[in-house]
Amino acid sequence: MSAHIQKPAQADAGAKPRPNIGTRSLRGFLRVREASILVVAILLIIYFESSNSNFLTRANLQTLSQFISAPVIIACGEIMLLICGEIDLSAGMVFALAPFIMYFAHNAGIPLIVAFFLALIGCGAIGLFNGFVSVKLRVPSFVTTLGTMFLINGFTLTISAGFPVDTPTNGLFTFLMGNSGFQEIIWAVVIVLVMHGALRNTRWGLHTISVGGNLIGSAESGINVTRIKMGNFALTGALAGLAGILEASRIGSTDPLAGGSPMMFLAVAAAVIGGTSLMGGTGTIIGGLFGGLVLGVLQDGFTIDGINAFTFNIIIGAAILIAMVFNIHFARLRTRGRF
């Protein structure tokens, strides 16, 4: 009877009427989860440029790029951690400590390049320690890194006696670190591209998503979940250290009060606004760059428009909330699984 209306189950796929090409490409674009936040960034840039002609000047773009570089570099680490279900609240303090490690190592007679790598290794080791306490000793990383946040801050203040020092310089090293206008953002973009590729195209990245998405299942599949988590803590420490040294090199001064928790929160905010969920299992590095861009454009635009810092905080707070609501409730509407 009804046999002729019953299609074989497999024939269903693709049988829906196709919408016109415009709708389809719009949908295709928005399906890329980073796209919506990029659209927001561009709309904000258009708004600020039209409200103030000083926005898209070379000098202002330089200010903007310098503001977002460090949080974006740190966000690359935080995003990896958030994806695998962890967080590092101490990254802003590692940011401040790193150039001091380099400074003291260099003062002790170690060549600057070597001192630089020592500082990165030291920061990576701090990350490993965070990972060890969180994963092996099973203290939630929120609490672990809250502790190390204070600890590292106190340590930096102690070794510096609370005073800034001059960042050591040397021709080639300082050139690479970039004391010129746009060098820091070049570092940030290169790191973003490398990390984006790593997240989507390497086993490390895939297993980071897997561990955050299903911890027990990942272990049952034979993934070394401890190694993945501790590795991402170490990575975040090293990236925070690198960002701190880049900033100290650009400014020429190494300040114990640089960075700190505002820097860490900026990085986490960039990650979250960019589309990384705090619940683990999903996230995007490029999104973190765009999230950082949105924050930077807001901060910078409001500054040249003469709106004060209080308003800025209100806007950032609202942006985080809107981004999270959007992530949780609208992300499901898009077709997923496009890696």
Partner 1 sequence: MSQVQAAPVPAAAPARGVTEVLRGVDIVKRFGAVTALNGISLHLNKGEMLGILGDNGAGKSTMIKILTGYQAPTSGTLAINGQQVALKSVDHARALGIECVYQDLALVPSLSIYHNMFLNREPLRGGPLRLLDNGAMRRRAQEALEDIGVNIPNVNEEVAMLSGGQRQAVAIARAVYSKAKILLLDEPLAAMGARESGLILDLIDRLKKRGDLSLIMIAHNYAQTLEVCDRIMMFQHGEVTFERAAAETSVPELLDVVKQNYKVIRGAH
Query: Would you say 210 or 249 has its CB closer to partner 1?
Result: 210
**Is 314 buried (19+), middle (13-18) or exposed (0-12) by CB count in 10 A?**
exposed
CB of 317 to partner 1, least distance (A): 27
> What is the distance between the terminal CA atoms of the chain, rounded to a whole angstrom?
44
Q: How far is the CB of 305 from partner 1 (least distance, A)?
A: 39
- Minimum distance between the CB of residue 293 and partner 1, rounded to whole angstroms? 25
CA distance 102 to 98: 6
For residues 33 and 250, which CB has a smaller minimum distance to partner 1 in the complex? 33
User: Binding residues for partner 1, per CB under 8 A?
Assistant: 9-10, 12-13, 201-203, 206-207, 209-210, 212-214, 216-223, 281-282, 335-339
The residue (of 174 and 214) whose beta carbon lies closer to partner 1 is 214
The residues, ordered by sequence, that sit 6+ positions from 326 with a Cβ below 8 Å of its Cβ are 36
User: Is 77:88 a contact under the CB 8 Å cutoff?
Assistant: yes
Q: Closest distance between partner 1 and the C-beta of residue 24, in Å?
A: 16
Looking at beta carbons only, is 7 or 58 nearer to partner 1?
7
List Cβ neighbours of 107 (8 Å cut-off, separation of 6 or more). 168
Burial class (CB in 10 A: 0-12, 13-18, 19+), 71: buried
Q: Choose between 14 and 109: whose C-beta lies nearer to partner 1.
A: 14
Q: Exposure string (b/e) for 113-137, b if CB count within 10 Å is 16 or more? A: eebbebbbebbbebbbbbbbbbbee
CB of 203 to partner 1, least distance (A): 6
The nearest distance, CB 30 to partner 1, in angstroms, is 17
Could you tell me where the DSSP H helices lie in the chain? 21-31, 33-51, 58-83, 91-107, 112-131, 141-160, 171-177, 183-201, 203-213, 215-220, 225-251, 260-273, 285-304, 309-330
Output 253 or 282, the one with its CB closest to partner 1: 282
CA distance 250 to 273: 27
Least distance between partner 1 and beta carbon 9 (Å): 4
In the complex, minimum distance from the CB of residue 220 to partner 1, in angstroms, rounded to a whole number: 4
Dist CA 29 CA 143 (whole Å): 39
Of 27 and 203, nearer to partner 1 (C-beta) is 203
Shortest approach of partner 1 to residue 279 CB, angstroms? 10
85, 94, 122, 215 from 279: Cα distances, Å = 6, 24, 29, 12
Scan for tokens 């897997």, then name that residue.
Answer: 210
